[in-house]
């Protein structure tokens, strides 16, 4: 496979379709170990083809600072990745780029900063959840129980209270199913990212790389938790009561609509729903 001119050094023998994947040996399946070996061989800036997609690796404090701080305007965009595009549509904070990313990021930081520091909203929600958490532990009466599951549910409830303005009962079947879907997506993320390099693998029969399972988990989480909450917030919106993330987003959408300001904070619900997905970890 012929390489483009002017790119940093990297493995010499790049294969069609596979790229440099066969050259990344010696890592025992750990990409971090494999790329460290490439760094020793080619220096602090090197290139690797994952399938047909070119990746440039930058190492070392000075080079990273040069790229991400001094030239942040050049490096602030997000690459187009197959899995991210499928799951998020390049919306939200983590996977968008350009002005869309800047608008969404600015709103998210300002809103979360206000919740965390300008008011006692976050502190109140944490204290409320601690009371339920301690009560559940006390009800065990010395019996063994799964502390990890309880902690997962309590932390998720704090986030849910911040995003939706409501918490879930620990035994709520919809809540338990949602947490299971989040956990499943984290457990299979290593399998799905293979298709970022070789999207053609999605046409293989079955679900070898867990893409269909991941998409179904995201869709189920949206249908059962995120979309009903958004619909409820839109229906019962009160501009004087915006103590959760979705209400604050709707308020900003209405402000932008009223002023005619150019902004990607808009009324498209797919953009609005992407924020809770990311904050709650559904698109891991």
More confident residue, 195 or 25: 195
Residue 69 above 70 pLDDT?
yes
**pLDDT tens-digit profile of 163-176?**
888 999 999 999 99
Pick among 3.40.605.10, 1.10.3720.10, 3.40.630.10, 1.10.630.10: CATH of 98-280: 1.10.630.10
Q: Read off the pLDDT of residues 234-270 as tens digits, 9 standing for 90 and up.
A: 899 998 888 888 898 899 888 888 888 877 776 545 4
Q: Is residue 80 pLDDT above 60, yes or no?
A: yes
CA angle 44, 49, 51 (to 5 degrees): 155
Those residues whose C-beta lies under 8 Å from the C-beta of residue 164, and which sit 6 or more positions away, are 229, 233, 244, 245, 246, 276
Kindly state the percentage of the chain with pLDDT values over 70.
86
Average pLDDT over residues 179-200: 80
Task: Evaluate if residue 81 carries a pLDDT over 60.
Answer: yes
Between the alpha carbon of residue 95 and those of residues 36, 88, 185, the distances in Å are 26, 7, 17
pLDDT at 150: 94
Beta bridge partner(s), residue 50: 19, 53
- For the stretch 212-237, pLDDT in tens is 888 888 888 888 888 888 889 989 99
Q: Which residues lie closer than 8 Å to 80 by C-beta, 6 or more apart?
A: 90
pLDDT higher than threshold 50 for residue 64: yes
Each domain of the chain, given as residue ranges in start order, spans 1-75, 98-280
**138-159 per-position pLDDT tens digit:** 999 989 999 999 999 999 999 9
Q: For the chain, how far is it from start to end, CA to CA, in angstroms?
A: 33
Helix (H, G, I), strand (E, B) or coil at 4: coil
Q: What is the mean pLDDT of residues 35-44?
A: 92
DSSP state at residue 15? B
What's the CA gap between 153 and 151, in Å, rounded?
Answer: 5
Query: 85 vs 34, which has greater pLDDT?
Result: 34
Q: Which residue has the higher pLDDT, 283 or 172?
A: 172
pLDDT given for residue 118 in this prediction: 55
Provide the 10 A C-beta neighbour count for residue 241.
11
Residue 151 is predicted with a pLDDT of 94
Cα–Cα dist 14/17, whole Å: 9
């Amino acid at each position: 496979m012929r390489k483009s001119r002017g790119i940093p050094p990297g493995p010499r023998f790049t294969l069609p379709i596979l790229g440099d994947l066969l050259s990344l040996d010696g890592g025992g399946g750990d990409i971090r170990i494999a790329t460290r070996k490439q760094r020793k061989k080619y220096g602090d800036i090197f290139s690797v083809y994952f399938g047909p997609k070119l990746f440039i690796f930058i190492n070392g404090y000075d080079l990273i600072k040069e790229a991400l701080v001094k030239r942040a305007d050049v490096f602030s965009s997000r690459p187009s990745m197959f899995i991210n595009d499928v799951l998020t549509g390049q919306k939200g904070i983590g996977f968008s780029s350009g002005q869309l990313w800047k608008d969404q990021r600015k709103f998210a930081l300002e809103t979360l900063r206000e919740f965390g520091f300008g008011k006692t909203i976050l502190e109140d929600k944490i204290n409320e959840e601690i009371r339920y958490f301690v009560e559940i532990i006390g009800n065990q009466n010395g019996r063994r129980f799964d502390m990890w599951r309880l902690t997962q549910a309590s932390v998720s409830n704090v986030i849910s209270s911040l995003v939706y303005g409501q918490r879930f009962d620990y035994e709520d079947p919809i809540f338990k199913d949602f947490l299971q879907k989040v956990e499943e997506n984290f457990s299979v993320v290593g399998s799905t990212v293979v298709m970022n390099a070789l999207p053609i693998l999605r046409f293989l029969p079955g679900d070898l790389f867990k893409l269909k399972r991941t998409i179904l988990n995201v869709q189920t989480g949206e249908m059962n938790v995120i979309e009903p909450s958004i619909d409820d917030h839109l229906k019962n919106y009160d501009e004087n009561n915006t103590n959760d993330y979705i209400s604050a987003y709707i308020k900003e959408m209405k402000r932008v609509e009223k002023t005619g300001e150019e902004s990607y904070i808009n009324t498209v619900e797919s953009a609005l729903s992407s924020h809770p997905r990311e904050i709650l970890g559904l698109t891991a």
